[in-house]
């Protein structure tokens, strides 16, 4: 049995595109429905870094840092608003292999750099996973307005106030993880994205509309062990 994990999510950009719900539905496993806001499904790219990743109960000082890049959408299953991950790119071969083997998550090994430059985050990711389609994401981002509590904003709450994540494992089974954390604080954000082939690597055409950006300094998270989704029924 894989234990629950504790970690911090830091310096996140939420880059969000409208997608036709029928297009999104074609990318999802059976049993999921795209969750819609303002008549659209939404596809998000999220660069950030994990900090102090460790088994629950282990002191923070023994955790590891793990820069990461996610491609995700928003779904409902059994009436529960949730997140569905298409991919999670991360730095660290051992961490990626462990996440794939023990947590059944679609992690891909990537070379990732994240640092502060003049009050903004500089992020650069290049997927190096053997046998996978290459994916590059690079740019700078940061807050551009006043903070607000996500539960007080309908679109912000739609994007981030979700406490169950789904993935499809390598054996085709659907898995879920529950997470626990405080409500999100978000900022309006600006971003200068120089390269993004993550969408096309997973079969998505780049949407015509410009993305909507939010930034968060982050929060601390407890994630349950991965479970088979059929155990929910």
**pLDDT one-digit tens code per residue, 124-152:** 999 998 878 899 999 999 999 999 999 99
pLDDT score for 98 = 52
* Gyration radius (Cα) of the chain, Å: 17
Q: Distance between CA atoms of 96 and 90, rounded to whole angstroms?
A: 7
pLDDT by 10s per residue, the chain, length 233: 467 889 999 999 999 999 999 999 999 998 899 999 999 999 999 999 999 998 899 999 998 899 999 999 999 998 899 999 999 998 865 555 555 555 557 788 899 999 998 889 999 999 998 878 899 999 999 999 999 999 999 999 999 999 999 988 777 788 899 999 999 999 999 999 999 999 999 999 989 899 999 999 999 999 998 888 874 44
**How many Å separate Cα 220 from the centre of its chain?**
15
Domain extents in the chain: 5-232
Q: Three-class SS string for the chain?
A: CCCCEEEEEEEEEEEEEEECHHHHHHCCCCCCEECCECCEEEEEEEEEEEEEEEECCCCHHHCEEEEEEEEEEEEEECCEEEEEEEEEEECCHHHHHHHHHHCCCCEEEEEEEEEEECCEEEEEEEECCCCCCCCEEEEEEEECCCCEEHHHCHHHHHHHCCCEEEEECCCCCEEEEEEECCCCEEEEEEEEEEEECHHHHCCCCCCCCCCEEEEEEEEEEEECCCEEHHHHC
CATH fold, domain 5-232, is: Acetoacetate decarboxylase-like (2.40.400)
């Amino acid at each position: 049995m894989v234990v629950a994990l504790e970690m911090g999510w830091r310096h996140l950009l939420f880059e969000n595109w409208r997608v036709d719900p029928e297009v999104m539905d074609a990318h999802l496993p059976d049993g999921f429905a795209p969750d819609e806001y303002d008549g659209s499904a939404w596809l998000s790219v999220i660069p950030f870094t994990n900090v102090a990743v460790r088994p629950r109960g282990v002191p923070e000082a023994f955790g590891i840092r793990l820069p990461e890049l996610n491609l995700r959408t928003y779904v409902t299953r059994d009436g529960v608003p949730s997140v569905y991950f298409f991919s999670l790119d991360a730095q660290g071969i051992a961490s990626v292999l462990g996440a794939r083997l023990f947590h059944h998550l679609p992690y891909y090994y990537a070379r990732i750099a994240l640092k502060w430059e003049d009050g903004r985050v500089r992020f650069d990711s290049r997927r190096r996973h053997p046998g996978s389609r290459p994916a590059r994401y690079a740019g700078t981002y940061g807050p551009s307005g006043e903070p607000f509590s996500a539960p007080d904003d309908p679109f912000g709450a739609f994007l981030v106030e979700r406490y169950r994540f789904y993935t499809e494992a390598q054996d085709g089974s659907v898995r879920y993880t529950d997470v626990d954390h405080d409500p999100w604080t978000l900022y309006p954000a600006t971003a200068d994205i120089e390269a993004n082939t993550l969408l096309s690597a997973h079969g998505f055409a780049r949407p015509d509309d410009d993305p909507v950006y939010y930034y968060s300094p982050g929060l601390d998270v407890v994630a349950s062990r991965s479970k088979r989704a059929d155990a929910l029924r």
